[in-house]
Amino acid sequence: MEDEYYNALQVKFAYAATCHKAQGNEWDNVIIVFEHSKPSEQSLRWAYTSLTRAKKRVLGINLPYFVQWDGLITQFKKECQNTPILSESTTLLPPSKNETIPIPLNFTDKFTALLQDAPIKIIEEHKLLVYKLSHLGIEVCKVNPYLEKYYIRYYLKKNTKNITLDLYFNKKLQTKILLLPFNGSQKELANEIQNISLPPTDRKVTLDHAPNNNCTKQFYERLIMPKCREHNITVSNIEHLPYRERYTFQFNGKQIKADFIYNARGEFTSYAGDTQNLHFRHLMTLFFS
């Protein structure tokens, strides 16, 4: 067959228009090409206009991406233009003698799924406890959560010795570790476990976020807590102030305070603290670089 159009791709003309020109019109299917990956208030208004042009389906290309603390990252980058960024290898102080063991990012715990109804702080302390036990070569064989009674029971084993431990917590999420009665043959293992302690400063943290203020909870769970675990930073206190979260951190043997300011839309716009302090700058580097 010599037909030059045989098996040819059949296409129809398509038409493009700016969002401004498209106002007042509607189509069944609309493809929107976003020109800016970081949205501004004006670009979001135009995004609403373009999205509402579609009657049935809409496809977005180069969709904007942002998190609620973009303003903090922007402030950090501006400050870095005038001040050299601090690397993670920067040594500020000798490690504290009581420094806690950092949990590796690849550490997995098969029992965390049993605690899905527990407060986030209790889950974090559970992970820290399990990791410290594994660091000592102690196997966690079984975990029974009794959340309604405010404790979690752990069945432990090392070599041929078995022992049982309870992690208690109260309504303020303060925790303590208690060994169940043991015999003389378990004494050595019991002594190892009794040397384990969860960071006492962690027990002062208040996570009773203001009602209908989900942004502060998201900020804590999605940014602060993962970074603290990654870099062995302890949150010793949180003050919930009007449009401001005041954190007190323990890091490299120093107490560091930082304010994180947010607006009525739940967007964190800036941070405040002793920006000339080397420890404060290092902390902000770990959070936002």
pLDDT 10s digits, 167-187: 988 888 888 888 887 777 788
> pLDDT (tens digit, 9 = 90+) per residue, 192-231?
887 776 654 333 344 444 434 678 888 888 888 888 888 8
Provide the token pair at 6: 């045989």
Looking at the domain assignment, is residue 102 inside a domain?
Answer: no
Looking at the domain assignment, is residue 89 inside a domain?
Answer: no
Low-confidence ranges of the chain (pLDDT < 70): 1, 14, 36-41, 65-66, 81-108, 197-213
**What phi and psi, each to the nearest 5 degrees, are found at residue 257?**
-105, 140
Looking at the domain assignment, is residue 103 inside a domain?
Answer: no
Looking at the domain assignment, is residue 11 inside a domain?
Answer: no
pLDDT at 180: 81
pLDDT at 135: 83
232: left (phi over 0), alpha (psi -120 to 50) or beta: left
pLDDT at 156: 92
Contact 167, 203 (CB under 8 A): no
pLDDT at 80: 74
Whether 44 and 77 map to the same domain: the answer is no
Given the DSSP bridges, would you call strands 27-33 and 234-241 parallel, antiparallel or unpaired? unpaired
For residue 239, the surrounding DSSP H or E stretch is strand 234-241
Looking at the domain assignment, is residue 166 inside a domain?
Answer: yes
pLDDT at 65: 65
CA-only gyration radius of the chain, Å: 27
**What phi and psi, each to the nearest 5 degrees, are found at residue 63?**
-60, 140
Range of the domain at 40: 19-61
Whether 235 and 269 map to the same domain: the answer is yes
pLDDT at 82: 63
pLDDT at 276: 79
Measure CA 229 to chain center: 9
